[in-house]
Chains A and B, each alone.
Chain A
Amino acid sequence: MSEIARKVCMLGDFGVGKTSLVARFVRNTFSDKYLTTVGVKVDSRLVSPAPGTDIKLVIWDIAGKAVLDNLNQNYLRGASGLILVADGTREASLRAALNLAMQARDVIADPACVLFVNKLDLVDRWEASPAVLVEIRRSLAVFETSALSGDGVEAGFAELARKLAP
């Protein structure tokens, strides 16, 4: 392998737009039906966070759940990064994402982590208050994204790649 590969898991509640974000970022190799059967779908994309540095992000899109079960914990093994995804229109999904992050830290030690607050295109209906997001930004890189328009998606993945770069 000429490039470095890093396993990245996407966690978030059901319906927050994880799969749409991945679809925006990568060219799908596998069908989405794996999400409902196996509970995960894996794709990859090569990212260059800095000149001369290539990182292949192997993205495990784990089916949306508010709580990690045993199988999902297995999927997290060996991950170097986490992408937490929340739906800005549902404040509960933000709490679920943070909760999932806490559970994931039991499986993987000190992962590089970013939070995508999705559905920026519906920002006028957001329940997540800016104050909360400001507070979260103190410990976590937060990106306001829209899978529909693509806003913030590339930047979020690039930030994660930068964090994962050796």
Chain B
Amino acid sequence: MGDHERLKQLIVGDELAALDAHARRVATLESSHADLPQQLPRLLREAQQGQGRHRLAQALTAPVADALGAAVQSQRHTIVEALFPVIGPAIRKAIAEAMRDFNDNFNRVLESSFTPRGLRWRIESWRTGLPYAQVAMRHALPYRLDHLFLIDRHSGLVIARVSAPDLPDLDADAIAGMLTAIGDFVRDSVGNGEDRGSLDSASVGEHLVWVLTGPRANLAAFVRGAPPAELRTLLRERLEQIHASLDDYPQSLQELTPATQVHLHESLRLDRIDVDAVAQASAQGASAPRRWPLLLLALLVLALLLGWEWRQRQWQGRLDAVTQLLSDWPGLHLDRVDGDIGKRIRVRGLIDASAQPPHTDIRALLPPGIELQLDLRGYVSTDDAIVLRRARRLLDPPAGVRSVVQAGVLNLSGEADAAWAARAREQAERVVGVTGVDTSLLHIASDAQAGLRAEWDRRVQALPTQRVHFVRETEQRDPAELSALLASVQRLRELSPQLQEPLRLQCRGHNDEPGTSATNSELRGRRARWLCAELRNAGVPAADLRTETDDAAANPPTIGERAVSLWLDASPEDE
């Protein structure tokens, strides 16, 4: 070794030694890496010893999944061939179950499509968006979950169990044991002892037993009725969750902690499973909720409500109009207006005989086709209009007189003759409803003789009726009759000059039945002359008297006609 080498050794000797050591280590590593493919199986086996198995599985989870994905991408055919024994039975089973469900659903849909119950279910399906078959199944095939047994697959012992509350107690361990034994029997006898075969379900009548197998525990469900397919899926999920919680018990499942047992019981709660099954069925079967049917229904209801409200308002408006009309109707007292919408109107009340009938006016307010029922009873109205009408009918006022009734007081105004005015004052008080008469504005006409003329007319008209009757011949039956007749003639003689009315009188004699025509005619003449004589004696000028020969045909003889009468002579004055 030269000086240079020694110096070098002194300065960097340690570093060179470290470099040599690293070089040897690298060479060793390269050598071991070259042998890795041969040593890998052994290393993997060693890695699975004890707790290392779990760590190795966790470490390989991601790369194995990636590798499987890559293999599926690149070597699909190989993967398919490898999985074919598994996929085939699974597909066949799924198809068989689907076909069976379809068949069941189809039959039930056919059976229930056209019944009222089916229509109700269709509406529910329409409203909820669920397929009709599912709605029909849900209603028509109720089910009940009686028992759930979580069974140790190894021993057949019950790990946990839940039963419906109202069921009698049963020997769950014995049943679970028999179920396990039968499962083993079926597997051994039918499944050729291979682990993939197992008792999956059994049914007797409406009772159904499902056995869902897991790696460590089986879940046996005792069901009555026809459960939905979703229930089995849900139970499968529960079994998977239970297995996750059983990881803490690598060996025996027969000595679980109380906390685990509580958890298992919670997982098996029947009511929650039922609710979850329904929810899952709804979630799987329901399409997006169809809101438009509900909206359409709401609009329809709203339109109907609006229509009904509009009709009500229209009808009420008509009732109000009729009520308003009749409330102001003179001589009508309104009790009530009601009726049936669009059909008829009933009016109840009282009406005065002098009031105008309201039919026509009511009809004018109603559309055609509506029946009008008037229930009006009579009464005496004190309405001013009716009282006025009543007063006018009684008083018959002349053209120049205006009459008004206000608050029962009859106001007469204008111009009338004294006679009418006097009569009006006398009779107006007797008109029903008139509480007072006001004639302050009624002026008497300038004809001062109107009253005298009226008296003249009245007396002239009454004169023929003031007869003097006889017992026989000219023997008076009552002398007062002649006195009254003479008094009337005297009054006429007083009025005649005032009124410039001529007074010429005609005496007529009458007779009764018996007697011949000539005799009676002579008797009538005699009686007429008798009366004229009496009148002359009373001061009536003879020139104003004339004896009338009676016409028997015009005045037939009766016992009551044994009398004389006096008439105003309207014939032309003798020359």
Q: How far is the CA of A79 from the CA of B378 in the complex (A)?
A: 109
Asked if B240 is at the interface (CB within 8 A of a chain A CB), the reply is no
Please indicate the chain A residues that have their CB under 8 angstroms from the CB of B507 in the complex.
none
Residue of A nearest to B193 (CB): A70
Q: How far is the CA of A78 from the CA of B180 in the complex (A)?
A: 11
Is the Cβ of A58 less than 8 Å from the Cβ of B177? yes
Asked if A38 is at the interface (CB within 8 A of a chain B CB), the reply is yes
B185-206: CB near A (< 8 Å → 1, else 0) gives: 1011100010000000000000
Is the Cβ of A5 less than 8 Å from the Cβ of B178? no
Please indicate the chain B residues that have their CB under 8 angstroms from the CB of A115 in the complex.
none
Asked if A74 is at the interface (CB within 8 A of a chain B CB), the reply is yes
**B141-158 with Cβ < 8 A to chain A:** 152, 154-158
Question: What are 20 A-B interface contacts by the 8 Å CB criterion?
Answer: A1-B160, A4-B255, A6-B157, A7-B157, A7-B177, A29-B171, A38-B181, A42-B156, A42-B173, A58-B157, A58-B177, A60-B156, A70-B188, A70-B193, A71-B188, A74-B184, A74-B187, A75-B181, A77-B155, A80-B155
Most chain B CB within a 10 A radius of its CB, from A41, A77, A80? A77
Q: Which 3 A-B pairs have the closest CB atoms?
A: A78-B155, A42-B177, A78-B154
Is the Cβ of B173 less than 8 Å from the Cβ of A38? no
Asked if A39 is at the interface (CB within 8 A of a chain B CB), the reply is yes
Asked if A32 is at the interface (CB within 8 A of a chain B CB), the reply is no
Q: How far is the CA of A60 from the CA of B158 in the complex (A)?
A: 14
Please indicate the chain B residues that have their CB under 8 angstroms from the CB of A75 in the complex.
181, 184
A24-50: CB near B (< 8 Å → 1, else 0) gives: 000001100010001111111000000
- Cβ-defined partner of A56 (8 Å) among B152, B156, B173, B193: B173
Q: How far is the CA of A79 from the CA of B177 in the complex (A)?
A: 11
**A58-73 with Cβ < 8 A to chain B:** 58, 60, 70-71
Is the Cβ of B155 less than 8 Å from the Cβ of A42? no
Please indicate the chain A residues that have their CB under 8 angstroms from the CB of B174 in the complex.
29-30, 42-44, 58
**Minimum CB–CB distance for B468 against chain A, Å:** 141
Please indicate the chain B residues that have their CB under 8 angstroms from the CB of A5 in the complex.
157-158, 173, 254
A-B contact count (CB 8 A): 77
**Minimum CB–CB distance for A165 against chain B, Å:** 12
Chain A residues close to B by CB (< 8 Å) = 1, 4-7, 29-30, 34, 38-44, 56, 58, 60, 70-71, 74-75, 77-80, 166
Q: How far is the CA of A34 from the CA of B175 in the complex (A)?
A: 12
Please indicate the chain A residues that have their CB under 8 angstroms from the CB of B185 in the complex.
38-40, 71
Asked if B78 is at the interface (CB within 8 A of a chain A CB), the reply is no
**Minimum CB–CB distance for B486 against chain A, Å:** 144
Is the Cβ of B178 less than 8 Å from the Cβ of A42? yes
Q: How far is the CA of A1 from the CA of B255 in the complex (A)?
A: 10
Please indicate the chain B residues that have their CB under 8 angstroms from the CB of A7 in the complex.
155-157, 177
Please indicate the chain A residues that have their CB under 8 angstroms from the CB of B152 in the complex.
78
Q: How far is the CA of A118 from the CA of B45 in the complex (A)?
A: 51
Is the Cβ of A1 less than 8 Å from the Cβ of B158? yes
Q: How far is the CA of A135 from the CA of B177 in the complex (A)?
A: 35
Question: Contacts A7-B177, A30-B178, A75-B184: A1 and B155 contacting too (C-beta < 8 A)?
Answer: no
Is the Cβ of B160 less than 8 Å from the Cβ of A60? no
Q: How far is the CA of A56 from the CA of B156 in the complex (A)?
A: 13
Please indicate the chain B residues that have their CB under 8 angstroms from the CB of A166 in the complex.
255
Most chain B CB within a 10 A radius of its CB, from A29, A34, A70? A29
Please indicate the chain B residues that have their CB under 8 angstroms from the CB of A74 in the complex.
184, 187-188
Residue of B nearest to A3 (CB): B173
Is the Cβ of B188 less than 8 Å from the Cβ of A79? no
Is the Cβ of A41 less than 8 Å from the Cβ of B178? yes
Please indicate the chain A residues that have their CB under 8 angstroms from the CB of B184 in the complex.
71, 74-75
Residue of B nearest to A5 (CB): B157
**Minimum CB–CB distance for A87 against chain B, Å:** 24
Residue of B nearest to A69 (CB): B188
- Cβ-defined partner of B171 (8 Å) among A39, A43, A60, A71: A43
Q: How far is the CA of A70 from the CA of B171 in the complex (A)?
A: 27
Asked if B487 is at the interface (CB within 8 A of a chain A CB), the reply is no
B155-166: CB near A (< 8 Å → 1, else 0) gives: 111101100000
Residue of B nearest to A166 (CB): B255
Please indicate the chain A residues that have their CB under 8 angstroms from the CB of B189 in the complex.
71
Asked if B261 is at the interface (CB within 8 A of a chain A CB), the reply is yes
Is the Cβ of B193 less than 8 Å from the Cβ of A4? no
Asked if B182 is at the interface (CB within 8 A of a chain A CB), the reply is yes
Is the Cβ of A77 less than 8 Å from the Cβ of B261? no
**Minimum CB–CB distance for B383 against chain A, Å:** 97
